[in-house]
A and B are shown apart, each in its own frame.
Chain A
């Protein structure tokens, strides 16, 4: 009674062409994967596709107006755009390190949004438009 879904694995640049048989009881058989992660991805993709969200949020600092962020886990694909809109109201107004949470439990999905770049205190002062000493002589 099965159905076969075909799609490209997005986990790495190899981009394996996967085929997944769904509908039968038990873990769905996956073909075409070059690694075990592909099998796991294929099973989930066939029934509940999820994507990590990578985008930016606004900051209060004119020299660095956007801060890159990512989701801590996969967001249901159908809600990805909604999740991005949910970050429109976020404003980062303090220095932080990559990995720090900038928005918790997005859309009630239990997924956090974390910074993927540093926003260093020294950069946000006059150094932003100054001599650019960040990193020099460290």
Chain B
């Protein structure tokens, strides 16, 4: 007999987003089950042994595993259940219920839930997704895999490594590999500026004298069976290698930190369309997708740079999923949020103006965004209502960079009647306007 479970809310993924969603939903009185693929809850934070998590949420700098353990304990204490070591093989909808066929050691089970929260995180872009010539001998690996090998398995994947890409995980792995006794020959970034946070350039590279070479990329991998070296080349403004600038360096490992992509195979299998910019489903401020009862949060929605924001989005989704599971569908009033000039993307893509009346939004709606260019001399953000053109919100920033996500909060009551959409715009700050 196939084991059958009925719950109000099913949460897929037991990382920070899923755990926060589970805790919020359970606290609201819903019966919640978290389906987690790995043997332990906590998601990728288990292998992020460095500090800096929780500054917003807990007011202290925690290591990743500490943050994960706190969140797992609080979700379970709130009454959520979890099934680690299991995954969803197939998801479908029947009537008003989500039907999840799950597999785990010891057998299959079927989970039926009124609301479904997708907290499936993101994946790394791999060596197949960057233009590097040559074979893929042993020693070519993503930064996250290197992190797993070093921090969880205690294995050193290279003695002399080249790191391609200056994303935060790459920077953090440069430090980890150095502390574990390996040599990091250098970090190479195809763009003209680092992709990761400034603090990580400082504390992961400069602290250890590891060179960061901008506008440079790896064009070929050498070695049979094992990486023996790579070819580096300077690139022009369009990122194309400059002929004659090639040079070879010896190394036995090439670590790639070339970007993250939201993981949404389950979302796609349920018919959700993905946003071309974020690569996550389009959603409102509670993570509610365009299909009823379906919620998405954390890095599955868009790639965040702070775990704290991931937890925050999980909480919003969990709370809304519990309300839906227990109260049934509610009237929604969706107003599009557009990324205007200077904005790389904005999340959520919609605001549900009716949410305020349902008490799901406590402090207004949070809008997360990234600028599409680096503005070092100050920047100004405006949020306008299309139609009336009224400015609903204005902020000044000392600097904005695409790798550093920002967040604003909007009281829904401020949205004027008749607004057809909201639009975020970023401009360079005028000199001498004095605000900060």
Which interface class (under 10, 10 to 19, 20 to 34, 35 or more) fits A?
Answer: 35 or more
Q: How far is the CA of A123 from the CA of B85 in the complex (A)?
A: 13
CB-CB under 8 A for A52 and B207, given A128-B39, A131-B106 = no
| Contact present for A54 and B81 (CB under 8 Å) | no
CB-CB contacts below 8 Å: A44-89 with B: 51-56, 58, 65-66, 68-70, 77, 80-81, 84-85
Nearest chain-A residue to B202 (Cβ)?
A8
Q: Which residues of A contact B6 (CB under 8 A)?
A: none
Q: Which residues of A contact B51 (CB under 8 A)?
A: 52, 54, 70
| Contact present for A54 and B199 (CB under 8 Å) | no
Nearest chain-A residue to B399 (Cβ)?
A17
| Contact present for B82 and A13 (CB under 8 Å) | no
| Contact present for A135 and B65 (CB under 8 Å) | no
Q: How far is the CA of A21 from the CA of B83 in the complex (A)?
A: 55
**A13 touches which of B105, B153, B305 (Cβ 8 Å):** B305
Interface mask (B45-61 → A, CB under 8 Å = 1, otherwise 0) = 01001111001000001
CB-CB contacts below 8 Å: B42-97 with A: 46, 49-52, 55, 61-66, 69, 72, 76, 81-86
| Contact present for B105 and A131 (CB under 8 Å) | yes
A-contacting residues of B (Cβ < 8 Å)? 39-41, 46, 49-52, 55, 61-66, 69, 72, 76, 81-86, 104-106, 150-154, 176, 178-181, 197-199, 201-203, 207-208, 305-306, 398, 404
How many residue pairs, one in A and one in B, have C-beta atoms under 8 Å apart? Answer: 119
Q: Which residues of B contact A2 (CB under 8 A)?
A: none
Main secondary structure of the interface of A (DSSP, over half): loop
Q: How far is the CA of A11 from the CA of B55 in the complex (A)?
A: 9
CB-CB under 8 A for A54 and B106, given A15-B197, A138-B81 = no
Main secondary structure of the interface of B (DSSP, over half): mixed
Q: Which residues of B contact A26 (CB under 8 A)?
A: none
A90 at the interface (CB under 8 A from B): no
| Contact present for B83 and A136 (CB under 8 Å) | yes
| Contact present for B151 and A8 (CB under 8 Å) | no
**B201 touches which of A8, A68, A123, A136 (Cβ 8 Å):** A8
Nearest chain-B residue to A138 (Cβ)?
B76
CB-CB under 8 A for A135 and B41, given A66-B153, A116-B65 = yes
Q: List 5 interface pairs A-B (beta carbons < 8 Å), by A numbering.
A: A15-B198, A70-B49, A123-B40, A131-B105, A136-B82
CB-CB under 8 A for A135 and B84, given A54-B51, A81-B178 = yes
Q: Which residues of B contact A25 (CB under 8 A)?
A: none
Q: Which residues of A contact B305 (CB under 8 A)?
A: 13
Least CB distance from B152 to A in Å reads 6
Q: Which residues of A contact B83 (CB under 8 A)?
A: 136
Q: Which residues of B contact A69 (CB under 8 A)?
A: 49
Q: How far is the CA of A37 from the CA of B150 in the complex (A)?
A: 32
Nearest chain-B residue to A17 (Cβ)?
B198
CB-CB under 8 A for A134 and B81, given A13-B306, A84-B180, A117-B46 = no
Q: How far is the CA of A116 from the CA of B390 in the complex (A)?
A: 49
CB-CB under 8 A for A80 and B179, given A68-B63, A98-B65, A136-B82 = yes
| Contact present for A70 and B63 (CB under 8 Å) | yes
**B63 touches which of A10, A17, A85, A116 (Cβ 8 Å):** A116
| Contact present for A13 and B52 (CB under 8 Å) | yes
Q: Which residues of B contact A137 (CB under 8 A)?
A: 81
Least CB distance from A112 to B in Å reads 15
